[in-house]
């Protein structure tokens, strides 16, 4: 009576092992079949690959039969190898493998019986406790995965070679070619006599990127092909048993209908028919390649340094391959007064290449054309811009002319603006040289109130003497050389010594930015930081001296803005050094970009600070914008410091920013930055914009 509970518990424990044992047994079957039969299925797969490639259709009949004999011998040898090495797995083997995976082999223990002490209650209690522990261990049994590795048995990976060959054959051949082997056996000659075979291919133009089609795999009916697709047909058997009729090429001298090899190109919709036994007919729809489209997606914009920006989009069926923007003078829209009253000298339109995506889809994209035409004679004059795009088929699509004013650099200093206007008149027509001489004499008559830079004055006098001597016989090369010098003098007057200081600051910033991105050493970064601080100090010093030389040109609010920006830049430099010392190079690079944008806004504000009267309202708006940007930069830096390593950057959709100032309404930093850009671009009352308020600020 005491054995019944033990036997019941043992049977229950073994019953729970049924499914792990069955799965382990199935794994043993898979393992032994793979080890015994891998040569057989490798040979079968390799044979299918060769037949799918159509080797039997191109090789001599003797070679095909020799190959068939070798395949049969290989199959026999593979079967012999399989049956010699295959051993049917047993249930006990699966149970033993399952038992070996458990500590203490609990399954064997459950099937054992107590050898001695069966009548001793104490010994029996110990034995039953042992069985309970073994049953608990057996309950944790899991199926054992089969070992399907065949590297030792197949050191040359022949099974993978066969599989790869079959995949390639299915991609570039046809599995239906296997059926052609039947024609080589007994009665095959009769099968061949019943009807000849044929093959055909349709190859779309390369620029479409579409794959070739094997016409034998295409059923009768409708078939769409790009215009320019090449059709190749090969007719086998007796000449005349099969004929070809087509209306898609439009050829006036088609090949004979029964010619064994026929090639033609699809130029229009029509029909292709192979007439005869096993022939087919397709209704071809010729898909024409539409010309590309290009259009401007926004208004022409001007950067602070005078660069033009024109957003545009391009579309094409198979991708745009090139594009151009042609900029021509819109003479009827020019205000023909003063130096522009004379007939202009003919100039070729400006042709710019449109930027295309370096990677990605060129079938539908958006890009921005950016170029600097500040020095071109068309700058700040009405022009027409015609965009064009081309595709690989040689087709071109164009837009209607866009009537815009070509952006150029703005000069806020009255003398610099006057020199640029003289330069424009000189480039407009060489006949304006005498009037330009008179104007140069006027501005250099009493230089004390105009020229703050002695070198600019001396260079202006040199140009005056040269132009006066060559006014009536001015050559185009000499005119262009003097126009370049007038440009340099105007920059010198406009920016004064700020130009060299600003250039040094930009160089220092670029070098530091490059060092951060390329992982420079701490000593190198520290040296570049010192250079950056020194360049910033020099630049702010020049700004202060400029304000002292021209006190009337600085409004109190603009001066406050400059002081604020200087303090902000110094603070950002300190934060930048802290980030680099902490090894946060990604955050340091983002902060460098913020500093670059702030400096650009400072440059715009410094040049536009000369506005008075009605223009002062625009300056107050600009000062407020810069103050808002200071708060934005502080929030962005706090966001960088609080961001954990690997955390996504600011501006992820749907994410708010912690620590935002009251009243921001949950705006992200990216949204606030875009709002500042829009406000800065909307300051149309700044001097030099051409508006009445702006011109009033220049008076």
For residue range 407-440, what is the model confidence (pLDDT) as tens digits? 988 887 788 888 999 999 999 988 888 898 998 9
Element (H, E) at 390: strand 382-391
Of 396, 407, 219, the C-alpha closest to 300 is: 407
pLDDT of residue 583: 77
487-513: buried (b, 16+ CB within 10 Å) or exposed (e) per residue?
bebbbbbbbbbbeebbebbeebbebbb
pLDDT of residue 632: 60
Going edge to edge, which strands form the sheet with 261-265? 213-214, 198-203, 230-235, 261-265
pLDDT of residue 698: 38
For residue range 88-100, what is the model confidence (pLDDT) as tens digits? 888 888 777 887 7
With 0-12 CB in 10 A as exposed, 13-18 as middle and 19+ as buried, what is 543? buried
Q: What is the DSSP letter of 454?
A: H
How is the chain split among helix, strand and coil, in percent rounded to 5? 55, 15, 35
Token digits of residue 219: 């059923």
- Asked if residue 272 lies in contact with residue 250, where contact means CB atoms within 8 angstroms, the answer is no
Rounded CA separation 349/383 (Å): 10
Residues of the chain with pLDDT under 50: 1-3, 187-189, 191-193, 195-196, 552-558, 560-561, 564, 609-616, 618-619, 644-666, 683-699
C-alpha to C-alpha distances, 20 to 110, 143, 147, 409, 561, nearest whole angstrom: 16, 4, 16, 81, 79
Token digits of residue 478: 């000499």
Rounded to the nearest 10 degrees, what angle do helices 556-581 and 585-608 cross at?
Answer: 170
- Asked if residue 691 lies in contact with residue 684, where contact means CB atoms within 8 angstroms, the answer is yes
- Asked if residue 698 lies in contact with residue 615, where contact means CB atoms within 8 angstroms, the answer is yes
**CA 257, 262, 267 angle in degrees (round to 5)?**
95
pLDDT of residue 20: 81
pLDDT of residue 676: 59
pLDDT of residue 627: 56
With 0-12 CB in 10 A as exposed, 13-18 as middle and 19+ as buried, what is 463? buried
Percent of the chain with pLDDT over 70: 74
Rounded CA separation 666/658 (Å): 9
Rounded CA separation 619/305 (Å): 18
Q: E strands of 276-338, at which residues? A: 281-287, 293-296, 301-302, 308-315, 320-329
Strands 281-287 and 221-226: parallel
Q: What is the DSSP letter of 342?
A: S
Handedness of CA 660, 661, 666, 669 (dihedral sign): negative
Rounded CA separation 164/418 (Å): 76
Rounded CA separation 677/93 (Å): 77
Q: What's the N-to-C CA distance of the chain in angstroms? A: 120
pLDDT of residue 697: 39
Other C-beta atoms lying within 10 Å of the C-beta of residue 147: 12
Of 345, 563, 330, 546, the C-alpha closest to 453 is: 546
pLDDT of residue 112: 64
- Asked if residue 133 lies in contact with residue 123, where contact means CB atoms within 8 angstroms, the answer is no
């Amino acid at each position: 009576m005491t054995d019944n509970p033990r036997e019941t518990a043992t049977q229950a424990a073994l019953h729970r092992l049924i499914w792990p044992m069955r799965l382990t047994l199935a794994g043993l079957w898979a393992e032994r079949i793979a080890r015994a039969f891998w040569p057989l299925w490798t040979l079968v797969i390799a044979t299918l690959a060769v037949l799918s490639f159509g080797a039997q259709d191109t090789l001599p009949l003797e070679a095909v039969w020799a190959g068939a004999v070798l395949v049969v011998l290989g199959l026999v040898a593979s079967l012999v190898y399989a049956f010699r090495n295959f051993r049917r797995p047993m249930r006990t083997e699966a149970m033993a493998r399952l038992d070996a995976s458990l500590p203490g082999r609990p399954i064997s223990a459950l099937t054992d019986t107590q050898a001695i002490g069966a009548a001793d209650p104490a010994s029996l209690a110990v034995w039953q406790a042992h069985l309970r522990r073994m049953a608990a261990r057996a309950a944790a049994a899991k199926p054992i995965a089969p070992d399907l590795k065949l590297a030792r048995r197949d050191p040359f990976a022949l099974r993978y070679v066969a599989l790869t060959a079959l995949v390639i054959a299915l991609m570039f051949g046809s599995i239906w070619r296997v059926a052609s082997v039947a024609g080589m056996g007994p009665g095959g000659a009769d099968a061949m006599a019943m009807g000849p075979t044929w093959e055909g291919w349709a190859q779309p133009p390369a620029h479409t990127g579409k794959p070739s089609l094997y016409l034998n795999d295409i059923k009768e009916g409708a078939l769409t092909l790009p215009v320019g697709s090449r059709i190749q047909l090969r007719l086998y058997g007796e000449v005349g048993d099969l004929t070809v009729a087509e209306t898609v090429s439009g050829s006036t001298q088609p090949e004979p209908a029964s010619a064994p090899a026929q090639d033609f190109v699809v130029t229009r919709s029509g029909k292709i028919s192979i007439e005869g036994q096993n022939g087919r007919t397709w209704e071809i729809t010729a898909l024409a390649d539409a010309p590309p489209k290009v259009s401007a997606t926004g208004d022409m914009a001007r950067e602070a340094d005078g660069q033009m920006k024109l957003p545009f989009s391009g579309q094409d069926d198979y991708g745009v391959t090139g594009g151009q923007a042609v900029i021509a003078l819109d003479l009827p829209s020019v205000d023909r007064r003063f130096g522009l009253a004379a007939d202009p000298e003919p100039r070729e339109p400006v042709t710019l290449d449109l930027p295309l995506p370096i990677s990605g889809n060129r079938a539908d994209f958006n890009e921005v054309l950016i170029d600097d035409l500040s020095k071109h004679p068309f700058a700040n004059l009405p022009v027409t811009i015609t965009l064009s795009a081309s595709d690989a088929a040689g087709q071109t699509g164009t837009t209607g002319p866009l009537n815009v004013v070509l952006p150029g650099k703005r000069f806020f200093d009255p003398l610099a603006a006057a020199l640029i206007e003289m330069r424009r008149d000189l480039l407009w027509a060489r006949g304006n040289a005498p009037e330009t001489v008179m104007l140069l004499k006027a501005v250099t008559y009493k230089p004390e109130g105009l020229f703050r830079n002695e070198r600019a004055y001396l260079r202006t006098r040199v140009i005056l003497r040269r132009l006066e001597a060559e006014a009536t016989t001015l050559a185009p090369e000499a005119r262009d050389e003097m126009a370049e010098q007038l440009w340099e003098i105007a920059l010198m007057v406009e920016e004064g010594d700020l130009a060299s200081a600003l250039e040094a600051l930009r160089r220092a910033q670029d070098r530091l930015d490059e060092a951060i991105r390329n992982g420079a050493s701490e000593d190198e970064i520290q040296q570049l930081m010192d250079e950056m601080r020194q360049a910033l100090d020099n630049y702010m010093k020049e700004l202060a001296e400029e304000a002292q030389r021209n006190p009337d040109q600085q409004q109190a609010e603009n001066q406050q803005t400059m002081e604020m920006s200087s303090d902000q830049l110094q603070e950002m430099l300190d934060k930048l050094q802290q980030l680099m010392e902490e090894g946060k190079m990604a955050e340091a690079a983002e902060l460098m970009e913020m500093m670059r944008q702030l400096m650009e806004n400072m440059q715009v504000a410094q040049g536009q600070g000369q506005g008075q009267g009605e223009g002062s309202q625009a300056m107050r708006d600009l000062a407020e914008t810069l103050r808002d940007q200071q708060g934005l930069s502080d929030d962005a830096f706090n966001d960088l410091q609080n961001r954990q390593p690997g955390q996504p950057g600011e501006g992820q959709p749907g994410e708010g920013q912690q620590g935002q100032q009251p009243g921001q309404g949950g705006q992200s930093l990216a949204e606030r930055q875009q709002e500042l850009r829009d406000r800065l671009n909307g300051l149309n009352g700044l001097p030099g914009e051409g508006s009445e308020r702006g011109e009033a600020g220049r008076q």
